Amino acid sequence: MTYVVTVEIRIPEGAPELDGLHRVGATALLEQGFASVAGIEGADGMEMDLFDVAVAVHPGGAILKVMVAAPSLEFAEEAVGSVSEEVLERSELLAEWTVESSEVQLHTDAARESLEAADGPGAPPSDPQARRAHHTAKPDTADETEQETQDHEAAFRTLAARLRSFGPAAFGVAETGTGAGPEAGPGPDVRPEPGGDERPRAADAPPVITSESAELAAGSLVYGAEVLIDELYDDVQALAEEDTTVAECQGHLWHLDQLPSRHAQQYNELFARRFLVTAIALTTRFTDGSFRRLGCLAEELVLKLLLEQAHVTLDLHGLLDEDVAAALGRFAGEVYEDMDFAWLQDTGEDGAGGRGGGGAALGFGTWFTPFDDARYVHPYALDEIPETGVPDTAEN
């Protein structure tokens, strides 16, 4: 069975945080180290094939996503952890780094449902398309107990603290903590909040976003990032197994088939790997506190998929009310500098892009090109820049 093992690596205690140059160097060392590993042999002669490794280095260490074929989950976790330690030991510059964890991160709700319903009438469908519809369809919240809803809500609130790059203000919460947007209060035309909340609101005013709504929105983004990355791994594997593009893929795809269809013939395995690494790099910056601005058009598309996943996750558990949706909307407005990438969804010619680039700014070959010299794009995904200084695009 194929597993995706998440490995967390930390720099030595007391060492200074890694700057941009050191992060690039560490990324190269880790990628080279794993490139030399063809397979893994464990106890009792059991063998494991290593398919792929994605590396995301942050100021305090690195997160690895290692895709392997192993006889069991436990073996995958133990073997990948041991190999990671060996890779560090072989590199003089990384020898003092430590492996903090090596685990397959299961989505507990889905796992519990599968275990409880195994071979029973409630078993999830075996067909991937049907299973996706089963999990993403709007749920019958009447079947979920109030306690289960409260448990999910508490879990999302706990996860919110991991979104270290954004405070409540990024979700529209006023600095006073009472809300954001137009001042709410009694007036000539007011109406109560849905659900009987006594706070009045002007009839045409946007919802007042509370810190509680912001917490739910932030937690859903953290949880959604884990789901998105796991499913993008599945998409990479699907394209690799068929050695094809999204346009011709006969297997199930979670997300890559949602990208602009005009370029579906260009979405091959290499593109999928670059897009996955971009997603890991972006969500790492979201959670380690280092995010400043989106680096390239591919990151804008990753964020679009992440926001959609957050909405689905909240809706699945009956937690997507008007205020939480508004908080996610305010977050999107805070992070996106413009919505030029939306032109790509049009079936016509590329629209006029912003940032002074016109339609060429949206050309497929520039998706992984930094918007400017101050932006960050992961080295694995980065478009090559020829000596002319012009991005090597599919159009030129």
Which pLDDT score is estimated for 64? Answer: 87
Q: Enter the tokens of residue 124.
A: 């999830």
Higher local confidence (pLDDT), 205 or 187:
205
Local confidence band at 313 (pLDDT 50, 70, 90 cut-offs) = confident
Mean pLDDT is highest, among 19-28, 143-152, 294-303, 338-347, for: 294-303
Q: What is the mean pLDDT of residues 64-80?
A: 80
Amino acid type, 247? A
Judged on CB neighbours under 10 Å (0-12, 13-18, 19+), 99 is buried
pLDDT at 196 over 90: no
pLDDT at 205 over 60: no
Instruction: Please write the tens of the pLDDT for every residue from 207-262.
Output: 678 999 999 999 999 999 999 998 999 999 999 999 999 999 998 889 999 898 88
Instruction: Please write the tens of the pLDDT for every residue from 154-175.
Output: 889 899 999 999 999 999 998 6
Q: What is the mean pLDDT of residues 118-137?
A: 47
Which residues, 6+ apart, have CB-to-CB distance to 45 below 8 Å? none
Average predicted confidence (pLDDT) for the chain: 76
Rounded distance between C-alpha atoms, residue 26 and residue 22, angstroms: 6
Judged on CB neighbours under 10 Å (0-12, 13-18, 19+), 263 is middle
